[in-house]
Structure 1
Amino acid sequence: MKHESGEKIQYTKRWFAYFDLLGFSDLVQQKSISQIMPLYNKALDQLERSPEEKKQQGIYVSWFSDTFIVYSRGSKAEDFANIEHVSRLFFQHLILNKIAVRGALTFGELYSQQEKNIFVGPALIDAYRYGEGVNWLGFILTPNAINRLEEVSLPARERNFYRGVTDETLFKPGIKGPISAFSFNNGLVQGKNPYLKALSEMRAQADPKFQEKYDNTISFIQKYA
C-alpha cells in the first residue's frame, strides 16, 4: 500500500516501549492544572533530555496526555541496548521522583510518522497490553522482547537488572509469560534501596484502590532487589 505522497506504507520491526502514569485521569479530575503540570513537566524533562544523542542512536520519543512511548529505528542488539537504557532511566527517574508509572518494552512491527504523531502496529498493541496488564508499578520485558533477545544473543535471563517473574498475582487475567522485570537493584543510597523508600512514601499518599499495586511492587523489590 502507498501513502497519497507515493511513499510505500509498511511495517518495520522495532523495539517499542510504552509507559503510562498511574492514576493520572483521577489527578486531572481532582487537582488544578497548576498542581498537575509540575509532575507532568518532570516526566517530559527526562524524556526530552539529550534529543540529538537519542536520534544519533536511532531512538525516538513521543507522548500524549499520560502516555509516553520510546521506539527504535532498527531491530538489532545495539538498538535494544539503546532503547533499554533510555526507557529504564525514564522509569527510574519517575519512580524516584514519586511519580507513579508502569511500562513495557516489546519487539514487533510498527508503522510510524513522527512528524504527524502517527503510530500503528502490533508492537504498540503488545506493549500497551502488557503495560496495562500487570498489577504493580514495574517496567517489564514482554514475551516478544524476550524471544527477540534470544535471537540476537542477549538472553533476558542474563540481564543484570532484570528478573523473571512467575508470580501470577502480579498479572491481570489473560496475561501470560514469560515476563522479565526491572528488579530495582542498580544502586543503594546509604545502604538502603531508594526505590523502596520512594514507593513506600507514594503508597502512603495513594488512593486506596491503587494500594495493592504498591504492595505488590514493594514485595517484588524485597524479594528480588
Structure 2
Amino acid sequence: MDDTPYKKLRYTKRWFAYFDLLGFAQLVRTREIQSVLPIYERVLETIEEKANAKKSQGIGYSWFSDTFIIFSKGSSLEEFGVIEQIARLFFQKLILHKIPVRGAISYGNLYSQQEKNIFLGEALMDAYEYGEKQNWLNFVITPSAAMALEKLEFPMNERAHYRLITKSGVITHPGDKKIFAYAFNNGTVNGINPLLKALRSMKEVSPKEQGIKYENTIEFIELYGWISHNNSMQSNAKASAD
C-alpha cells in the first residue's frame, strides 16, 4: 500500500477537546426535524465562532452528529491556552443557550487528516472516555493534560477557572487520579451567575431521570462558582494536599 500521502502528517502530541450534546439522540428520535435543526445550527455557529478565528494559530475543529472536537497543531503551553479558552467559551455559550453538553480536554498523541475527517490516537480516546463518564453537565481536564501542564510549570491547582472534583459519583472513570473541572466562575450579572440560572431552568424541563446530572452540576457551582481568584487557588491547593 502506498502511504505517501500520510508521510506529511504527524502523529504527535497535541491538546484535544471533546464535547458531546446530552440527550441529542433522544431529541432526534422524538421530535420533528424542523425543531431539532435550529438547535444543531446554533451549536455549529457557536463552534465556528469560537474556533474559526483561531485557525491562524494552528487550531482545528470538526464535528459529527452530536460530537464536536477542537485540537491544536502542537503541544505548547500557548496552544493549551488557546484550546482551553475556545473550549470554555464554547461550553459557556451552549449552556447559556440551554443546550446540555459535557466534555473533556486531554493531551496525547493524535493523528489527523481533516480533509477526510480522520482522527486517531490516545488524545481522542482519553478525552472521549473522560467526557462520557461524567454524570453532570461540565467539562474536565483529564489527568493526561493535568500532568502535561504540571511539567510545563502550569499546575491545575493554580488555575482560576478550575476546581478539583471531590464528590464521588460525578465521574465514574476508573482510577484514583485527581481530576479538575470547570467551576462556572467567570463572573456574575447583577449578582446572579447566568450559567447557574440557565442550568436551573434546564433542570425544570429535563426528563426526571436526568435530574441527578443537573443536581450534581448545581451543587458544584454553589460550592465553587462564587470564589474569588485568590481564594480559588487557596481552595485548590488545600484540596490537592488532602
CA contact (8 A) 1:161 1:182 kept: yes
What is the distance in 2 between the residues matched to 1:2 and 1:93? 44
| SS at 2:169 equivalent | helix
Shift of 1:176: 4.1
CA contact (8 A) 1:2 1:8 kept: no
Q: Are residue 218 (structure 1) and residue 240 (structure 2) matched?
A: no
Q: Are residue 90 (structure 1) and residue 86 (structure 2) matched?
A: no
- The one-letter amino acid paired with 1:194 is P
Partner of 1:41: 41
Shift of 1:3: 2.1
Shift of 1:50: 6.1
Partner of 1:198: 198
What is the distance in 2 between the residues matched to 1:176 and 1:35? 42
| SS at 2:105 equivalent | strand
Q: Supply the RMSD in Å over aligned alpha carbons.
A: 1.6
| SS at 1:169 equivalent | coil
| SS at 1:62 equivalent | strand
Partner of 1:67: 67
CA contact (8 A) 1:166 1:177 kept: no
Percentage identity across paired residues of the two chains: 51
Task: Using the TM superposition, name which of 112-121 and 5-14 deviates more.
Answer: 5-14
Partner of 1:179: 179
Name stretches of at least 5 consecutive residues in structure 1 with no aligned partner: none
CA contact (8 A) 1:3 1:9 kept: no
CA contact (8 A) 1:2 1:9 kept: no
The number of residues matched between the two structures is 225
CA contact (8 A) 2:130 2:173 kept: no
Partner of 1:128: 128
> If the length of structure 2 is used for normalisation, what is the TM-score?
0.89
Partner of 2:147: 147
1:100-131 deviation line (CA, Å, top 9, x unaligned): 00010000010000111100011111000000
1:180-210 deviation line (CA, Å, top 9, x unaligned): 1110000101101111110011011111121
Query: Which is helix-richer, 1 or 2?
Result: 2
CA contact (8 A) 2:109 2:121 kept: yes
| Cα gap change, 1:6 to 1:112, in 2 (>3 Å) | closer
Shift of 1:57: 1.5
What is the distance in 2 between the residues matched to 1:52 and 1:171? 31
Name stretches of at least 5 consecutive residues in structure 2 with no aligned partner: 226-242
| SS at 1:178 equivalent | coil
What is the distance in 2 between the residues matched to 1:6 and 1:24? 34
Shift of 1:51: 5.6
1:127-178 deviation line (CA, Å, top 9, x unaligned): 0000011111111100001001111111111111111112122112525431
1:27-58 deviation line (CA, Å, top 9, x unaligned): 00001111111111111111111665311111
| SS at 2:188 equivalent | coil
What is the distance in 2 between the residues matched to 1:83 and 1:56? 13
| Cα gap change, 1:36 to 1:134, in 2 (>3 Å) | same
- The one-letter amino acid paired with 1:44 is L
> If the length of structure 1 is used for normalisation, what is the TM-score?
0.95
